[in-house]
Structure 1
């Protein structure tokens, strides 16, 4: 059981082993500990969980955490218990006996934190249970799930506004890593948090290098990324469809990479086993749809790759934010091409919902396309989307290899004229391949079948290559100068097309820089974590990692639950000679010091350290 502590900074030091709060953590924690409501936006890896865990420990009663992450609740609870926090959960995975034990512990005040799935709060027996206990606060994690048109939307979250009505004196804190100002307003309204104080941390993750490149055999491009930059690293590869997930995972496995699939079409047991392997083993690559990743707390994910275009900047930011939670250099890589734009436009046109909904989806996609096509710093554009100013970062592809712009007005007019003549003169619509063949003057069987070699635009585009024309069409589609229609994904003009064809509107296009082979000396997560270690510390770090792996396997826990790499790196560098010295290392709290301290000192070669040093460490 934890020692009695009411001051947040004392809880931070005793339980979590840190000396100081980061950013706005202290202000948020003081506000909630004092009984105030809060809406918190903080990037993945920014320390959101401490913003409710510490107030729950500092206030009397049990902190009730509402989370949609049923598959991860056991890991979340295990991580807290490793710190000495009395944590439990209630969800559909439990048997009756385990559920009764957790409920009894809650009523008896023997828990510090209780995790609940949102659907349980729609069950009257759960509400009556909460009435019988003492509640310190309500934390609503992953609060963006309440946004009606978000890809993680959970209908059960809509009922959470009733928390304030039933328990008006209990403070509430809603947290998310991703939300524009409009989404923030929606979250506050739907959760009845309109009077809550808003805290918006910086969205910048400077350790992540954002790179977007033209799609050209994306699986081959992915292999180049892994081979040249991330051999042996843990990572996530996102694909749009379940079929693509399966094929990509199979492809990577065939190339010798430990890759696992994850999507909603797999049975629950397979998903659970694959997720557990990803969390517990080093260097595993998860190939997944967006069904995977929310709440994943694995700190050493070195890369997130997208083989298909995300639907929104919010989704892209949230997914890429799963890389580099430990603050070490990581990569967010996206392969993007014409077919992605065509597919996304068609999905919007075919989607359910009214015109306003489709317009909203189009706005999300337009912002994502603008990020892909920008010639400015990607990071500043990403931050600007969330209302935050920034300077060019020097660590994204457009900063490292600046692309050029060129006057594409004539090229645009040739494409639009071709689409116009096919539609108006021939009553025909075709995809990009036929348009390119016409512009290049290719007498293919399909061109001759429809007599397209008789069009006035036939052969007028020989100054560009096929790849160039596809890039032009992609950018015209991204700028709304072309639209896509129908099952066969054919092109037609838009209202904006007239300005280019008849009103002298200029069209500026992006010229993609030539691809350059990249090679980094880092070849594994272990080496990434060992950056800045001197010759003496590096072997100690490897010995500590090996010790941690054995302990984690023995206890059935992810390795990072024992200690993060950053903590092991500091231990290896400082080589503490006693428990008292070890207790000053960041990330070594009171419980972990008592549980693992002697073993760590043994790895360092200090096997005869006095066992009672830690008793003096937390006096007063």
Structure 2
């Protein structure tokens, strides 16, 4: 047993939690999970980002005899994860493709000799016979399978190498396994259990609610301008993540922000790996930096003070959206999840599904994911209730999302829907033509554009019958008909075509209720955005800033992110308590024995400096 280990049991777990990590008690179901794994049981844990999943395997690995083996897809973050553990005195190491022979050899020797508490591996390493033989030579306390949703074959983060992990139990039947993820519907949950042979494990499902995140979805109207307004009015100087669908959009958005005086870096799979690594490192280590990325970025990011996550394109699924927005506000402080969503998003996503690889069943699954995402965008109910419902959990209206703060109106859009569908019918039947939304809306508005004149569309009976609605309103009608499956997209040019449900609307057999965006929605969300809680008197702010400056210096010297030294919450408590000695400092949450010995004197000196 290492110096950090204690006798098995809950008392040993609590003692380890306090001495190593500096916390006095577990949160939520953590203590039950830890107790279960320490006693040798398998566990499947679904817990939201920021809920404390890591402690659920780190504590048992320290209490049980042997080395905890953590399987993680996050090669780019393993160094930071290991640095954070070493900083609290845990003997941690990793094996991945970034190491040279000497580094790997040292880690392997430490594992075999029992000089490690935790060993991180990428899943593909387990396909290498030498890795399996290495594990056979050591004593394994547990297997932790992090980001377990990666095993779901039709999920948003599927990793083929995860499918091999079912073999862990066959080769090491006496070693307990704990699989963890922040994102899983009931179907994904069942798939994880099945593919990892965890049907007989104890399942722990925490609430997916993240009450500190304000969900807001706005109609696209010059999205870069809308984004700039969000950043300059609400998140000036804040760290955040902006997601775009394409690499080109990532590059252009990052350039746009920099041109407007906002520090931002791009991140996508097409960049040189050294550039990606440098940009990720800067994001983790610098205050107030924004990363613009495709979904290739973000999994496993532990940065606690990400104040916003913005989407400039429609996510493909609610699971993906929840996973990405969950990277905001890990510290529990108010944060924003902002999405700009428009007609072209729906058209583009529908086309991507129609042309995707795979069979019809696969395309139906993709369509179901998109329909759920569209339902979230178009709901007139609480966004949070809708998200929790998607994951099979119940919620009450949060009073903090955009639809709670400025409830949108429902209106009877049956007649506008009939006008629009009639236009599609007349073009198809009378002219044998198919057009996209722009041309159809111009016909409805009676606009004699060159394209309308060229095709003689001003002679259609439907020309000008939609003058009672504005262009933006018609685009909303098209978007919502697509979302409800009453219109479809066809071909490379996004032509609108009818569906089976269209006939019911045209025949007056189906009512079409639509969502009208209130003009005051964005303003209401901005003005009522909850202010960060006041954790200390204003006169102590200079003390807090001195502590932050010391932390920044220490982090730079060690080459680690600042939060690896201490979280802001710990520094606030230190500034408020003003401990006079090491004994008092040791009572602060987040100050374990190793950090007290390592940083205690520097902190006390910083507090005494005026």
Which TM-score band applies after superposition, normalised by the shorter structure?
over 0.9
Moved more, 144-153 or 243-252: 144-153
Alignment of 1:148 with 2:161, yes or no, is: no
Distance 1:496 1:521, change over 3 A: closer
SS in structure 1 at match of 2:162 = helix
Structure 1 counterpart of 2:453 = 448
Consecutive unaligned residues of structure 1, counting only runs of 5 or more, are 608-620
Tell me the SS of whatever aligns to 2:175. coil
RMSD: 1.6
Is contact 1:5-1:58 (8 Å) kept? yes
- Which of residues 578, 581, 591 is equivalent to 1:578? 581
> What secondary structure does 1:375 align onto?
coil
SS of match in other structure, 1:351 = coil
Q: 1:354 and 1:405 mapped to 2: Cα distance?
A: 37
1:448 positional shift: 1.6
SS of the residue corresponding to residue 216 of structure 2 reads strand
Does 1:596 pair with 2:599? yes
CA distance in 2, matches of 1:530, 1:2: 38
Task: Please say if residues 2 and 85 of structure 1, whose CA atoms lie closer than 8 Å, have aligned partners that are also in contact.
Answer: no
Q: What does residue 572 of structure 2 align with? A: 569
* Deviation larger for 268-277 or 419-428: 419-428
Q: Secondary structure at the match of 1:496?
A: helix
Q: Quick one: distance in 1 between partners of 2:451 and 2:531?
A: 53
Partners of 2:378 and 2:324 in 1: how far apart? 19
1:259 aligns with 2:267: no
Determine the structure 1 residue equivalent to 2:125. Answer: 120
**Greater CA drift, 543-552 or 418-427:** 418-427
- TM-superposed CA distance for 1:522, in Å, is 12
Query: 1:311 maps to what in 2?
Result: 316
> Residues 546-583 of structure 1: CA distance to partner in whole angstroms, max 9, x if unpaired?
11001001111100000000111111111111111111
Distance 1:228 1:249 in 2: 18
Residue in 1 aligned with 2:276?
271
Pick from 486, 506, 513 the counterpart of residue 508 of structure 1: 513
Superposition pairs of residues 317-332 of structure 1, within 5 angstroms: 317-332=322-337
Q: 2: CA distance between counterparts of 1:575 and 1:519?
A: 37
* Match of residue 605, structure 1, among 579, 600, 608: 608
CA distance in 2, matches of 1:295, 1:372: 26
Question: The residue matched to 1:43 in structure 2 has which SS?
Answer: coil
Of 524, 533, 536, 2:539 maps to 536
Q: CA deviation at 1:532?
A: 3.3
Contact 1:233 / 1:284 at 8 angstroms: preserved in 2?
yes
Cα deviation code 1:399-448 (max 9, x no counterpart): 11111010000010011111111112211110011011110111111112
Question: If the length of structure 1 is used for normalisation, what is the TM-score?
Answer: 0.96
Identify the residue that residue 546 of structure 1 maps to in structure 2.
549
CA contact (8 A) 1:228 1:518 kept: no
With over 3 angstroms needed to count, the CA separation of the structure-2 counterparts of 1:148 and 1:471, relative to structure 1, is: same
Contact 2:406/2:525, CA 8 A, preserved across alignment:
no
1:358 to 351, 359, 363: 363
Is the partner of 2:45 in helix, strand or coil? strand
- 1:485 matched to 2:490: yes
Please state how far the C-alpha of 1:192 moved relative to its aligned partner: 1.1
Tell me what 1:77 maps to. Answer: 82
Alignment map for 1:205-284 (pairs within 5 Å):
205-284=210-289
Per-residue Cα deviation, 1:566-617 (whole angstroms, up to 9, x for no partner): 111111111111111111111101100110011111111189xxxxxxxxxx
The equivalent position to 2:178 in structure 1, one of 173, 177, 182, is: 173
8 Å Cα contact 1:229/1:522 also seen in 2? no
Residue aligned with 2:53, SS? coil
Where 1:462 maps in the other structure, the secondary structure is coil
| Superposed displacement of residue 531, structure 1 | 2.9
Q: Distance in 2 between matches of 1:135 and 1:403?
A: 55
Deviation at 1:2, TM superposition (A): 3.4
- The answer on 1:294 being equivalent to 2:299 is yes
Q: Distance in 2 between matches of 1:584 and 1:530?
A: 22
Instruction: Tell me the distance in 2 between the aligned counterparts of 1:531 and 1:428.
Output: 62
Q: Name the structure 1 match of 2:6.
A: 5
- Between the aligned partners of 1:528 and 1:379, the Cα distance in structure 2 is 19
SS of residue in 2 equivalent to 1:536: helix
1:556: which partner in 2?
A: 559
Partner of 2:341: 336
Query: Could you tell me whether the CA contact under 8 Å between 1:56 and 1:136 is conserved in 2?
Result: yes
Secondary structure in 2 matching 1:139: strand
For residue 449 of structure 1, report the CA deviation from its aligned partner: 1.4
- In structure 2, stretches of 5+ residues that fail to align are none
- Inter-CA distance 357–520: structure 2 relative to 1 (3 Å threshold): closer
